[in-house]
């Protein structure tokens, strides 16, 4: 068995957008391995945790694959995407489930009821802009558009690296130690998304 | 601020892009991958690939091109056409489609919507509704099998009822195609879209009738839709996406700019 480090491992969460994430990594010139093998994940230089679907189902899948502890112990940079980001927080109200808890935070349903009895459509689907990007995160720029698809979101806190607004302000990018998460889909966000992925793959941060 | 979406639709038949007039007389307009890349470069916010023959010929969309599109495209794309089982949906999503869009099969077995939503999540389940204004009854009637002129037929559903049904079953997005307007470029069906907007708690995409830039401005301002889908005006290069988005921005409609200025 090859014990060399693996450049990029995408954790196989059995969800729908694995191919999109793998394609985006390959477009940037990195080989991408989709795997749910603990050994592969531990040997990866960069780990990506993709996710679509529900938080409860995704946590159940990680538990069945015995990957919860593996992910929590990782020292190398990890990027959670969309639901994958929400799983990095302590808790999600979607299914009332405890998550990985590697970045402090709470995931709640987006509050979209507006004044004058107007309610914004959910899911929040489409291209939206980042606000209050942390100056140290050089790939993130205020007013750049990224592609979002979600109905739940992480509340803004000290670990928020950029926020976004839809009915309410929520965390668009979070980070703590080696763990990062984006609520949007960088793999589907055109040039801006490619720049963020490139930064993560090269430098291990956003 | 969430941008209004511009969505070119590529009607596919036998692996090539075609476009008809009011669902008839389909003619070949170009290669799928070429057109897809052109649209992505020009600033399309997402793409829809619709196999217009699939539902009626008891087959799923030809798959090889879906993988090829997914390798090159870095914006979201939807695949529609003849998806009638979880397994078919799973294959298309595994090949890199971001969303699947269901039309006639949902009418035949509405519980398919629930199954797809529970299996893959609401975010990737789009329901297409083909609605035709019937002058005699003065009602919007939902049609099925519209990809094949000889088999297109009215269903028992009116558009508003069916919209409620699909939303209740968990649809993540609705594309409302107003057949009277399709391919004739006289403008979107503002009256119908306005009437249905309050009944649609998920994103609503207008389809059918775009002919001028003014039509796009009108549909966003007057019907408050989340996106506008069009085919022939883009394929025939009657409207280019960049000037369209500039005109929308000038009309105070929030759009994603076509080009990013380098650092």
Write the residue in A150, A188, A190 that is nearest to B98 by C-beta.
A188
Of B149, B94, B157, nearest to B127 by C-alpha is B157
Q: What angle do CA B241, B206, B131 make, to 5 degrees?
A: 140
Please say whether the beta carbons of B141 and B131 come within 8 A: yes
Q: Helix A190-203 crosses helix A18-27 at what angle (to 10 degrees)?
A: 70
Please say whether the beta carbons of B6 and B45 come within 8 A: yes
The answer to whether the CB atoms of A188 and B3 lie below 8 A apart is no
State the pLDDT confidence band at B180, using cuts at 50, 70 and 90. Answer: confident
- Domain boundaries of chain B, sorted by first residue: 5-250
Pick from A52-61, B12-21, B159-168: least confident = B12-21
Q: What angle do CA A41, A153, A108 make, to 5 degrees?
A: 110
Q: What is the CA radius of gyration of chain B?
A: 17
Q: Please provide the distance, in angstroms rounded to a whole number, between the alpha carbons at the two ends of chain B.
A: 22
Give B165-223 as a DSSP string: HHHHTT-SEEEEEEGGGTTT-S---HHHHHHHGGG--S-EEEES---SHHHHHHHHHHH
Candidates B98, B130, B189, B226; catalytic one: B130
Cα dihedral angle (A157, A159, A162, A167), rounded to 10 degrees? -30
Of A181, A146, A180, nearest to A165 by C-alpha is A146
Candidates A15, A150, A185, A206; catalytic one: A185
**Averaged over B189-218, what is the pLDDT?**
96
> Using CA atoms, how far apart are residues B27 and A74, in angstroms rounded to an integer?
55
Write the residue in B94, B121, B257 that is nearest to A54 by C-beta.
B121
Residue B2 contacts A where some CB pair is shorter than 8 Å: yes
Helix (H) or strand (E) holding B154: strand B153-158
Sorted by sequence, the CB contacts under 8 Å of residue B45 that are 6+ apart come out as A126, A127, B3, B5, B6, B7, B75, B76, B227, B256
Q: Helix B241-250 crosses helix B213-223 at what angle (to 10 degrees)?
A: 40
Residue B94 contacts A where some CB pair is shorter than 8 Å: yes
Candidates A94, A164, A187, A206; catalytic one: A187
Q: Which residue has the higher pLDDT, B60 or A117?
A: A117
The answer to whether the CB atoms of A26 and B75 lie below 8 A apart is no
pLDDT for res B28: 64
CB–CB contacts below 8 A, A to B? 103
Residues within 8 A of A (CB atoms), B 30-89 only: 40, 45, 67, 70-71, 74-76
Residue A185 appears among annotated catalytic residues: yes
Task: Tell me the pLDDT tens digit for each residue of B247-259.
Answer: 999 999 999 998 6
The answer to whether the CB atoms of B1 and A165 lie below 8 A apart is yes
3-state secondary structure of B34: helix
Which CATH architecture group holds A6-203?
A: 3-Layer(aba) Sandwich (3.40)
pLDDT for res A146: 97
Fold of B5-250: TIM Barrel (3.20.20)
Task: Tell me the pLDDT tens digit for each residue of B98-154.
Answer: 999 999 999 999 999 999 998 888 999 999 999 998 888 889 999 998 867 778 899
CA atoms within 13 A on the CB side of A103: 32
Residue B209 contacts A where some CB pair is shorter than 8 Å: no
Q: Please provide the distance, in angstroms rounded to a whole number, between the alpha carbons at the two ends of chain A.
A: 32
Please say whether the beta carbons of A77 and A200 come within 8 A: yes
pLDDT for res B229: 97
State the pLDDT confidence band at B53, using cuts at 50, 70 and 90. Answer: low
Q: What percent of chain B has pLDDT over 90?
A: 59
Which residue is closest to B200 within chain A, CA to CA? Answer: A121
Of B7, B2, B1, nearest to B205 by C-alpha is B7
Residue B30: pLDDT over 70:
no
Give A142-205 as a DSSP string: TT-EEEEEESEEEPP-TTEEEEEEESEEEEEEEEETTEEEESS-GGGSHHHHHHHHHHHHHHS-
ipTM over 0.90: yes
Residue B12: pLDDT over 90:
no
Residue B169: pLDDT over 90:
yes
Please report residues of B whose CB lies closer than 8 A to that of A24. Answer: 74
Phi/psi for A126 (5° steps) reads 135, -165
Parts of chain A with a pLDDT under 70: 1-3, 16, 115-117
Please report residues of A whose CB lies closer than 8 A to that of B204. Answer: 121
The answer to whether the CB atoms of B226 and A125 lie below 8 A apart is yes
Please say whether the beta carbons of A114 and A142 come within 8 A: no
pLDDT for res A1: 43
What's this model's pTM, rounded to 2 decimal places? 0.93
Residue B61: pLDDT over 70:
no
Write the residue in A23, A121, A125 that is nearest to B96 by C-beta.
A23
State the pLDDT confidence band at B261, using cuts at 50, 70 and 90. Answer: very low
Please report residues of A whose CB lies closer than 8 A to that of B229. Answer: none
Report chain B's mean pLDDT, rounded to a whole number. 88
Which residue is closest to B5 within chain A, CA to CA? Answer: A126
Residue A82 appears among annotated catalytic residues: yes
Please report residues of B whose CB lies closer than 8 A to that of A19. Answer: 67, 70, 93-96
The answer to whether the CB atoms of A126 and B227 lie below 8 A apart is yes
Residue B25: pLDDT over 60:
no
Task: Tell me the pLDDT tens digit for each residue of B219-244.
Answer: 999 999 999 999 889 888 899 999 99
Q: What percent of chain B has pLDDT over 70?
A: 88
Please say whether the beta carbons of A11 and A35 come within 8 A: yes
Write the residue in B1, B76, B226 that is nearest to A147 by C-beta.
B76
Candidates A82, A99, A133, A164; catalytic one: A82
Of A181, A172, A19, A185, nearest to B75 by C-alpha is A185
A142, with CB counted inside 10 A (0-12, 13-18, 19+), is exposed
Which residue is closest to A18 within chain B, CA to CA? Answer: B94
Sorted by sequence, the CB contacts under 8 Å of residue A160 that are 6+ apart come out as A132, A154, A171, A172, A173, A174
Phi/psi for A80 (5° steps) reads -95, 135
Residue B1 contacts A where some CB pair is shorter than 8 Å: yes
- Domain boundaries of chain A, sorted by first residue: 6-203
The answer to whether the CB atoms of A18 and B200 lie below 8 A apart is no
The answer to whether the CB atoms of B94 and A18 lie below 8 A apart is yes
Helix (H) or strand (E) holding B160: helix B159-168
Strand partners, A115: none
């Amino acid at each position: 068995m090859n014990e060399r480090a693996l450049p990029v491992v995408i954790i196989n969460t059995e969800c729908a957008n694995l191919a999109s994430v793998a394609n985006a990594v390959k477009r940037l010139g990195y080989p991408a391995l989709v795997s749910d093998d603990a050994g592969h994940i531990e040997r990866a230089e960069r780990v990506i945790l993709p996710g679509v679907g529900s938080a409860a189902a995704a946590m159940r899948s990680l538990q069945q694959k015995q990957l919860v502890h593996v992910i929590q112990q990782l020292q190398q940079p990890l990027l959670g995407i969309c639901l994958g980001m929400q799983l990095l927080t302590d808790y999600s109200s979607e299914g009332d489930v405890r998550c990985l808890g590697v970045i402090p935070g709470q995931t709640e349903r987006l509050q979209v009821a507006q004044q004058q009895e107007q309610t914004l459509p959910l899911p929040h689907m489409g291209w939206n802009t980042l606000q209050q990007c942390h100056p140290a995160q050089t790939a993130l720029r205020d007013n750049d558009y990224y592609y979002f698809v979600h109905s739940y979101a992480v509340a803004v806190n000290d670990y928020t690296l950029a926020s976004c607004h839809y009915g309410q302000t929520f965390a668009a990018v979070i980070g703590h130690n080696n763990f990062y998460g984006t609520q949007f889909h960088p793999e589907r966000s055109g040039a801006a998304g490619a720049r963020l992925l490139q930064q993560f793959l090269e430098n291990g941060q956003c | 601020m969430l941008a209004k979406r511009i969505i070119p639709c590529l009607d596919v038949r036998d692996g090539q892009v075609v476009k008809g007039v009011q669902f008839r007389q389909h003619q070949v307009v170009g290669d799928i991958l070429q057109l897809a890349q052109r649209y992505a470069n020009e600033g399309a916010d997402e793409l829809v690939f619709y196999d217009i023959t699939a539902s009626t010929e008891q087959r799923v969309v030809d798959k090889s091109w879906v993988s090829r599109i997914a390798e090159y495209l870095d914006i979201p794309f939807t695949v529609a056409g003849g998806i009638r089982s979880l397994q078919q949906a799973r294959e298309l999503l595994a090949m890199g489609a971001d969303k699947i869009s269901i039309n006639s099969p949902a009418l035949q077995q509405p519980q398919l919507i629930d199954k797809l939503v529970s299996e893959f999540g609401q975010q990737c389940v789009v329901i297409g509704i083909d609605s035709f204004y019937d002058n005699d009854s003065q009602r919007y009637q939902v049609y099925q099998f519209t990809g094949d002129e000889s088999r297109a037929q009215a269903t028992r559903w009116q558009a508003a009822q069916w919209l409620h049904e699909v939303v209740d079953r968990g649809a993540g997005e609705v594309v409302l195609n107003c057949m009277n307007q399709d391919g004739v470029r006289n403008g979107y069906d503002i009256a119908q879209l306005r009437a249905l907007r309050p009944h649609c708690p998920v994103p609503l995409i207008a389809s059918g009738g775009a002919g001028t830039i003014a039509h796009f401005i009108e549909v966003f301002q007057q019907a408050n839709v989340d996106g506008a889908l069009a085919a022939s005006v883009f394929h025939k290069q009657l409207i280019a996406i960049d000037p369209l988005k500039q005109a929308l921005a000038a009309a105070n409609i929030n759009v994603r700019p076509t080009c990013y200025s380098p650092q």
